[in-house]
């Protein structure tokens, strides 16, 4: 009997549905995958910012994970918002007790609007407990600067910075360049298997609707890995998808602040 291609998202809930679990599930569906979820936190959030965060009990997070794994075969995993060190350690314990493949970590330290979503202790736990269990880690420039001890990253140092990240943490990294000014958005991949570096470029789109771009890109990569693509091919396809999703949402209005990308541009 045919089976679904499945992706599990471990992340927080966004009540405005532009980021977090909701954006992940939309992305999986748009890319013809079946999405499952482990919700870590519930946020009161809209296009203007994050107003409140409630972290679910660790026992409930673990129960969600076990419930899914005891019944459903998962082809890839995307990890997003983990709100504190204890949450990071719980998710790491869950992963360590499983044999899941294609684990993609979006290092969510802050929201698009600047709200802190993971404190220093949580970042330290992520580096020591979770990084070794991941196949790909995806920081933006501000997050990468934290991971490199405060080093400033410029457009002309991105390649060297992603190599430093990969060698220091001994895994593959995709360093996103969307926070840096320029006519194009360049991301750099360091592959820990052969220490190759690949560049992915797309035109910069002038728009305020960028809520959930990181969630969407990382979820798309996980979906394409679940479908059997190589890491480089998965990123190439996902970069094209997020670029089109941003472009399709450029002239759409939702809320008063930073609106979401258009996950289903292919279907409307």
Q: Between β-strands 184-190 and 197-203, what pairing exists: parallel, antiparallel or unpaired?
A: antiparallel
- Residue 214 falls in the annotated catalytic set: yes
Choice among 176, 216, 239, 243 that is catalytic: 176
- Taking the C-alpha atoms of residue 11 and residue 215, their distance in angstroms, rounded to an integer, is 9
Q: Which of 98, 188, 74 is nearest to 137 (CA)?
A: 188
> Is residue 176 annotated as a catalytic residue, yes or no?
yes
Nearest one of 261, 253, 143, 245 to 211, comparing CA atoms: 261
Q: Is 212 a catalytic residue?
A: yes
Catalytic residue among 35, 177, 214, 259: 214
| Residues 138-155 as b or e (16 or more Cβ within 10 Å = b) | bbbbebbbbbeeeeebee
The DSSP secondary-structure symbol of 150 reads S
| Nearest by Cα to 81 from 165, 21, 142, 16 | 21
In angstroms, the CA 233 to CA 136 distance is: 14
Q: Is 12 a catalytic residue?
A: no
The span from the CA of 259 to the CA of 105, in Å, is 23
Q: Which of 35, 122, 178, 212 is catalytic?
A: 212
- Report the sign of the C-alpha dihedral through residues 229, 30, 53, 98, in that order: negative
- State the catalytic residue, choosing from 166, 177, 215, 243: 215
Options 210, 216, 243, 259, the catalytic residue:
210
* C-beta separation of 39 from 64 below 8 A: yes
Look at residues 215, 210, 176 and name the one whose alpha carbon lies nearest to residue 20. 215
Q: Which of 213, 216, 239, 259 is catalytic?
A: 213
What residues act catalytically? Answer: 176, 210, 212-215
């Amino acid at each position: 009997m045919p089976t679904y291609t499945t992706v599990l998202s471990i992340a927080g809930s966004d009540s405005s549905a532009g980021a977090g679990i909701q954006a992940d599930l939309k992305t999986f569906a748009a890319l013809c995958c079946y999405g499952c979820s482990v919700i870590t936190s519930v946020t009161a959030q809209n296009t203007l910012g994050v107003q409140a965060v409630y972290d679910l009990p660790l026992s409930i997070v673990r129960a969600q994970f076990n419930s899914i794994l005891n019944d459903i075969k998962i082809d890839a995993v995307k990890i997003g918002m983990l709100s504190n060190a204890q949450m990071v350690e719980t998710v790491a314990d869950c992963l360590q007790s499983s044999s899941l493949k294609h684990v993609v970590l979006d290092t969510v330290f802050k929201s698009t609007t600047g709200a802190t979503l993971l404190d220093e202790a949580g970042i330290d736990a992520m580096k020591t407990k979770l990084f070794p269990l991941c196949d790909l880690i995806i920081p933006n420039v501000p997050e990468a600067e934290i991971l490199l001890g405060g080093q400033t990253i410029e457009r002309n140092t991105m390649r060297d910075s992603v190599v430093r990240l990969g060698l220091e943490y001994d895994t593959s990294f995709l360093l996103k360049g969307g926070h840096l000014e320029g006519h194009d958005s360049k991301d750099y991949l360091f592959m820990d298997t052969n220490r190759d570096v690949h560049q992915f470029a797309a035109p910069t789109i002038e728009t305020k609707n960028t809520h959930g771009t990181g969630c969407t890109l990382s979820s798309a990569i996980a979906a394409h890995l679940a479908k059997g693509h190589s890491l480089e091919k998965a990123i190439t396809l996902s970069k094209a998808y997020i670029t089109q999703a941003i472009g399709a949402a450029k002239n759409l209005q939702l809320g008063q602040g930073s609106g979401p990308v258009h996950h289903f541009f292919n279907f409307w």
